[in-house]
Chains A and B, each alone.
Chain A
């Protein structure tokens, strides 16, 4: 009996490890291939490079039309950073109102907020584009960042509402007795309690914005404004010859911020997904 369960446990481990290796293979292939000389990327089938080089990174960093990848990274950081800040500030304001304050039409508005989570982005895409075009916001970062300052990602409002409901009401009630206004309650009591939800919102907003190729492609056409995703897509030519070494090297770099954030905030991350269903 114990023998067979031990055997079962071992074989399960073997399967789980094997599957884990298969899962990681594409990522590892990308990483190691980026250090292979360009001519060996597709001829050297072993994962581990026979010959190491940094040339791909040097070539890739040169970027496009004289604009380096450093610029693309700075652009992406700017867009993702301001988006992150916007979502954290405005979603927490709205969530505080929905979770703690009384006002007319609260139920209706809360319902509308929930519905907007399910509405596909594409149905507002065309008029939004026309609007931004009229405002002359095309080829600026405003179409990417302003929606985040208007709490447009309702998912995060819901996340914070749920979180605030878990914070004891006595905390704000005693603050009211001490003479605090709602603004002070939000600032002094709610925000410090909300930190885990704020971090979850911040990291997801950062990552989703960093990876959001579709909107970036629609609103940005000037190479000097390109983000990392647009830069990589432009290095890649599906019909002809790409400089694969440079492409893979920059692809590795494009994943670094996301991996770094993930590994530093893993706990918030995986638990956040488990409890809220964020992807």
Chain B
């Protein structure tokens, strides 16, 4: 009895591990192994050609005390995340609410608004964007009709981030589709009941829509932040590919790429990557911890908000 059970278990395990084999190889070979490797490398000086030279915390000390590009790239990336994420989500929510009111041809609008999200990550759109926002580009032509003399959006380090953030906000479609699905779940009788109680549109939004939508908002927020910290292509293409003008497009990932693959400071690049993991971890951690105060699960009975 006991032995047959054991062989059964063994057989079950064997079958399951066969199914899992590719994933296990990938997990150890492409995730866990490289993570440990990059942790080790982050304490070394390594240029691919000579063996890694152990530095201890040297890379980290240098990063925080003697590397203006590190702070520069942090600033650029934070600015991008802080502006693009809320703007994109607000836009997505507003448009989702406008589309949710029993509008005809909803499918067409949903498609049109989604297309930028579909295409926006490509090099092609980044190039188009750069051309539209160029000093003599379409946007300034358009502003010219109103007698406004637009700035050189791309060439000016003060304005190029506006261009890149606009591109990110333009891609609100994917978040909108998720919001739209969330809005469909809100029971209509809640609105009717609150209308009877004399609640206005604003109160309805804050007391019904927003709390019931908070799990979806939470999801969109976490995913947007994680993705935005890792942005690369738009900055790389709209900027000059080296972080210019004046390091205004030196995104964190671009800095990491240049350290690793242009200057072959592989150890330093690994250290930069670990700081990035920590930053993303802190941000998502804070959102998770605060979520119990503002994310409401369940069927609306839990009405603290």
Give A contacts to B, CB under 8 Å: 12-13, 15-16, 19-20, 23-24, 26-27, 29-30, 42, 45, 89-91, 93-94, 96-98, 101-104, 106, 109, 112-113, 116, 118-131, 133, 147, 149-152, 154, 157, 181-183, 186, 207, 211, 213-214, 218, 229, 232-233, 236, 238-239, 244, 247-248, 250-252, 254-255, 258-259, 262, 266, 270, 273-275, 277-279
Select A119's contact among B31, B174, B220, beta carbons within 8 Å. Answer: B31
Interface string of B88-119 (1 = CB under 8 A from A): 00000001001101010000011111111111
Binds A, one of B189-197, B203-211, B227-235: B227-235
Which residues of B sit under 8 angstroms from A124, Cβ to Cβ? 30-31, 34-35, 38
Contacts of A101 in B (CB 8 A): 12, 15-16, 19
Which of B19, B48, B99, B122 meets A16, CB within 8 Å?
Answer: B99
18 examples of A-B residue contacts, CB within 8 angstroms: A29-B132, A91-B23, A93-B22, A94-B23, A97-B17, A116-B27, A123-B34, A123-B277, A126-B37, A127-B41, A127-B270, A133-B48, A182-B15, A232-B124, A251-B122, A251-B128, A255-B119, A279-B174
Residues of A within 8 A of B174 (CB): 273, 278-279
- B45 interface residue per 8 A CB criterion: no
Q: Is the CB of A130 within 8 A of B48?
A: yes
B75 within 8 Å of A (CB atoms): no
Interface size class of B (residues with CB under 8 A): 35 or more
Docked pose: A29 CA to B109 CA in angstroms: 19
Cβ–Cβ < 8 Å partners of B170 in chain A: 23, 26
> How distant is the Cα of A98 from the Cα of B253 in the complex, in angstroms?
33
Distance of A94 Cα from B109 Cα, bound (Å): 37
| Contact for B124 among A19, A186, A214, A255, CB less than 8 A | A255
Instruction: Please state if B116 and A23 are interface contacts (CB–CB under 8 Å).
Output: yes
CB of A5 to closest CB in B, whole Å: 10
- Interface SS of chain B: helix
Query: Do B177 and A274 touch across chains, with their CB atoms under 8 A apart?
Result: yes
- Shortest Cβ distance from residue B150 to the other chain A in the assembled complex, whole angstroms: 14
- Do A127 and B103 have beta carbons less than 8 Å apart? no
A103 engages B13 (CB within 8 Å): yes
Pick the 5 closest A-B CB pairs, nearest first. Answer: A150-B26, A251-B124, A127-B37, A274-B181, A103-B16
What CA separation (Å) do A93 and B56 show in the bound complex?
42
Q: Is the CB of A12 within 8 A of B12?
A: no
